[in-house]
Structure 1
C-alpha cells in the first residue's frame, strides 16, 4: 500500500489488481464492476452506456496531478464524461469543490451518487453533453476535468470546440487526461497553435502502473491559491 501526500494530508492508494471488490485511489474508495452495490444498481435497470462500465484509469493521472497542487477551496468544477464520477468525488472530498458530474448517459447518476455516499462527499449528477458547455456555463466554472473521453472523431470534434472556447478565456482551466488514443493525440496536435494549450506525459505506479498524457488549456496556476 502506498500513500500520496499533499502538504500534511496522506491519500490512501491500493492496487486495483487484488481479490477485493473495491480499491483506494488517492483517498477515494472505488468499487469494482463486481461489487454488490454495482450489481444492485444494474439489477434496478441502470445499465451503463458509452463505455461507462467501470472507472477508467486516466482518472488516476489527474488525481495524481491535482493531489500535488495547492488547489483553493470552493472551486466550481465540471467533470465531463464523468462516468461513475470518481474524479468528481476526489475533487469534492479533498478540495471541498462544488462539483457537477456530467455525462451523456442518464443511467449513471446512481453510480455517481453511490461512490459519493461511500466517500462522505457531495456531488451533483447531471446529463450534460459537451456541446452544451457554452460561454454562459463557463462563466460560472473554474475548472473542467475529463479523462478517457476522446476516443473517436465525434468526441474529438466536440472537444475541439470546447478547447477553443476555453482557450479564448483566462478564467477557466480545462484538464483532459488520456492513455494516448489516436483521436486524443490528433486533438493535441490540432491545438498546438494555442500558446496556453500544453500536452504533458504523466506516469503513475499505483493504483495501477500506467503512462498517459494530460492536455491542459490555460495555466493551472490561474485557479490556485
Structure 2
C-alpha cells in the first residue's frame, strides 16, 4: 500500500526529512534525493563546494535584520550552492549573480533555486579576476566562508577596495572565525571603515559566526 495520500504528501515528507528551512528559504541537505542523484551523475565536487556551510545561515539571518533594497543587484562571491543569494532573490526580488571558481556547484545552485521558485545567475570565475566594469553594476557584495587560507587575504583586500572604488554600497562577509578572516578584519577596520560583529542564531541550527560589514561612506 502507498503510504502517501498524494504526490504533495510525499513531497512534504521529503521536505521535512531532507530540507532545512531558514527564514522561509529551503536549504537542501546532502541526504535529499535530488542532491544525491546530482552527486552520482556530476563531476566530483571540491571540498568547499559539497554542502551548505553554516556561515550561510548566519549571513541570511543578518540580512533578514539588515536587508538590501528591493530589486538590488547582488554579487555572491564563492557562492557554493548559493543559498544566501537565493534567499535574497526570493524575498527581496534581488538580481543575484552567484560567482564561484568551481563549475560543479552550478547544478546544486540551480536545484536549490528551483526548490525555492526563484532564479539566480551563475557565473564561473574568480573574484580576483573581476574588473571595475564587472563590479560597477552591483549594490552589495556578499560572501560566506570565503577567507579560509592566508593567501586569500591580500586578493580579498584588493577586491574589496576595487568594489568600493566603483560604488558598491555594502560588502558583507560571514565566517566562523578563521585566522585569515581576522587578518582581513583588522585591515578592513583600520583602512576601510569595516565593522566586525558576533552573530548567534538558534534556528535552523544553533551556531555562532562573525560578520564583517563594510559600508561605502
Q: What is residue 185 of structure 2 aligned with on the other side?
A: 188
Where does residue 166 of structure 1 map in the other structure? Answer: 163
Detail structure 1 runs of 4+ shifted over 6 Å in the superposition. none
Determine which structure has more spread, i.e. the larger CA radius of gyration: 2
TM-score, normalised to structure 2, is 0.87
State the TM-score, normalized to the length of structure 1.
0.84
Counterpart Cα distance in 1 of 2:135 and 2:47: 25
Shift of 1:155: 2.1
Root mean square deviation, CA, Å? 1.7
From the two aligned structures, give the one with the greater helix fraction.
2
Question: In 1, Cα distance between the equivalents of 2:99 and 2:168?
Answer: 20
> Per the alignment, do residues 61 and 51 of structure 1 end up closer, same or farther by CA in structure 2, a change over 3 Å counting?
same
Residue 58 of structure 1 pairs with residue 55 of structure 2: yes
2:71 to 71, 74, 77: 74
The alpha-carbon deviation at position 195 of structure 1 amounts to 4.9
- Aligned partner of 2:153 among 148, 151, 156: 156
Whether the 8 Å CA contact 1:177–1:214 is kept in 2: the answer is yes
Equivalent residue for 1:109?
106
* Cα displacement (A) at 1:45: 2.1
Note the C-alpha offset of 1:161: 1.1
- Residues 203, 211 of structure 1: 8 Å contact kept: yes
How far apart, in 2, do the equivalents of 1:51 and 1:102 lie?
14
Q: Is the 8 A contact 1:167 1:196 kept in 2?
A: no
Shift of 1:101: 1.0
Distance (Å, rounded) in 1 between the aligned partners of 2:123 and 2:183: 28
CA–CA distance in 1 between the matches of 2:80 and 2:86? Answer: 12
